Amino acid sequence: MAMTASSGVAQGAGSSPAAGQAERSPFIRTAELLAPYQPGKPLITLSLGEPQHPVPDFVGPVLARHIADFGRYPIAKGIEPFRQAVAGWLSRRFDLPRPMDPDSEIIVLNGSREGLFFAAITAARYVGPRKGKPAILMPNPFYPAYGAGARAAGCELIYLPTTLANGFLPDLDALDEATLARTVAMFIASPANPQGSVASHEYFTRLKQLADRYGFMILSDECYSEIYTRQAPGSMLECAGPDFTNVVAFQSLSKRSNLPGMRVGFAAGDRKFLAAFHELRNVAAPQVPVPLQQVAVAAYNDEAHVEENRRLYRIKFDLADQILGSRYGYVRPAGGFCVWLDVSDRGGDEAAAVRLYRDAGVRVIPGTYLSRPQNDGFNPGAGYIRLALVSDSESTAEALHRLVETLD
């Protein structure tokens, strides 16, 4: 049965105190939750998805060679070598309908987060008139930048629950005609944050059909695509058709190349949308320094450091398999570096987060803070905690052992 606003698809938060609390940073909320306590053991932080593996060896030498370029204002679309390197990487990595045009179908980003934010604003301006109040759809739980962008765009936020029952991906068949007719964009994340689910080719194809039929943009967050332990995830671009119409994919070097502090990524896809995106970014978005783009050129032309990065994550997921077993509903995720654990029978996510911090010195993030209640009151993140396996393998093993000892 089609799901409408009244039957479970949650609309945007209102002005109540509870709604205002929900829109705050999940990391600030976690800090406030844990503020009254001291960690019971030396602290191991698994709450923040900040990669801790070594920075690739080529970064320093490339920066040194291009240090003088810090004296130039960067152009908003990105230098040509960067766009060429991205186009080449996309063609090698994915089965695209055709090679992408680096001049019109790729644009540099100051990390994927700001790109996702500005893309929501662009979509609200770019997409034609809607039948009703313009809406932006997003998975629930979701990356906070999606919600911030939708609110800044003046659109209604519609949260699509992602649960074990639907494979932790939005149920496309649950969307009704009235909702789709007023949609300006849909955010999709594959691999998903926090559950690590990966959309299939069939799923992407179905989503593309809906976007073309109803005339909305697909904003595909693929920043975890290079972290996996089995099959490499696909891209929404593979199913976007020869002109990539209504599709833009977002990538970042933060996870792929272990460079979260460098803040370099890209958007690629629909050239007409990217032209409007570039126009807005040219006056409002942060520019990317040229030396950092040169590092990105080296990064997108090298896979050895990416393979090493995957190897280190594979070791940690092997540890999680051994230590967690089937506890807390643990299943090794298809992609990404997060673990999504069901602690609903351990007092719930907030209580478990407090216990782990206070008694075990392990910092995690409550799932409630990463999601929003649906109209029926159900919060798909409630009862879960998210762990980011970003520390070294020894710290990860210690944290997982402490977690089991404390929660069991």
Q: Mean of the pLDDT values across residues 70-89?
A: 97
CATH C-level class of 68-302: alpha beta
Residue 67: DSSP 8-state: G
Q: What is the pLDDT of residue 2?
A: 46
Under 8 Å between Cβ of 343 and 352: yes
User: How are strands ordered across the β-sheet holding 156-161?
Assistant: 106-109, 265-269, 247-252, 217-221, 183-189, 135-140, 156-161
Q: What residue spans define the domains of the chain? A: 15-54+305-407, 68-302
| Per-position DSSP letters for 340-397, written without gaps between them | EEE-GGGT-HHHHHHHHHHHH-EE-EEGGGGS---TTS--TTTTEEEEE--S-HHHHH
Whole-number average pLDDT of the chain: 94
Q: What is the pLDDT of residue 21?
A: 59
Phi, psi for 355 (deg, rounded to 5): -60, -45
**pLDDT category, 23, cuts 50, 70, 90?**
confident
Place of tokens 């705050």: 24
For 15-54+305-407, the fitting CATH number among 3.20.20.70, 3.30.565.10, 3.30.300.30, 3.90.1150.10 is 3.90.1150.10
CA separation for the pair 250, 115 (Å, rounded): 8
Q: What is the pLDDT of residue 194?
A: 97
**pLDDT category, 9, cuts 50, 70, 90?**
low
Give residue-wise pLDDT tens across range 44-68.
999 999 999 999 999 999 999 999 9
